[in-house]
Amino acid sequence: MKRREQARQIALQALYQLDVRREDLGPEIVEFLRESTKEPEVYFFARRLTEGVWAWREEADRLIREAAEHWRPERMAVLDRNILRLAAYEISRCSDIPPRVAIDQAIELAKRFSAAESGAFVNGVLDKILRIVKGEGAAEATEPKVDNEATQGKQEAE
């Protein structure tokens, strides 16, 4: 498992604990993160994600509410809600992480740890969050770009 994948998995576990306990981030969670890996890079990325998502969860929930028609975050499975929060945070607040990577990783977490249909649900909600965050033109950013001379010539002529 790659380091960032491992860090996301650890962050998800920490977020799940925080959500179920309805606690603020405290020394127990930091200790959990530290004990979950021997690799400093994994620990620091997991901590960055956990702290960022937890502090930003109200904004993440607002985006989820807007994107997930007929679903309120508080009515979602705890695991799915935190996968969505994690990816929404990465899409919105982490300029060093490509949005497609955040979405793909969230889908994999949902497939691995949640219900069978969660991967498709997470994908749909996050695609809409990406469009909300990046504006309506974001759909273009998620599609492969055609890079050929005819297209470039046409764009230059316009």
For domain 3-157, the CATH superfamily is NusB-like (1.10.940.10)
Domain assignments of the chain as residue spans, ordered by start = 3-157
From the list 52, 67, 65, the residue with the least C-alpha distance to 132 is: 67
Model confidence, pTM:
0.84
146, exposed or middle or buried, with CB in 10 Å at 0-12, 13-18, 19+?
exposed
- Residues whose CB falls within 8 Å of the CB of residue 42, separated by 6 or more in sequence, listed in order: 3, 6, 7, 10, 36
> Rounded distance, CA 123 to CA 149, Å?
33
Contact 84, 125 (CB under 8 A): yes
Residue 148 has pLDDT above 70, yes or no: no
Inter-CA distances, 127 with 66, 82, 137, 139, Å: 12, 16, 12, 8
Residue 151 has pLDDT above 90, yes or no: no
pLDDT at position 23: 86
Averaged confidence pLDDT in the chain: 88
Query: What average pLDDT score do residues 61-68 get?
Result: 97
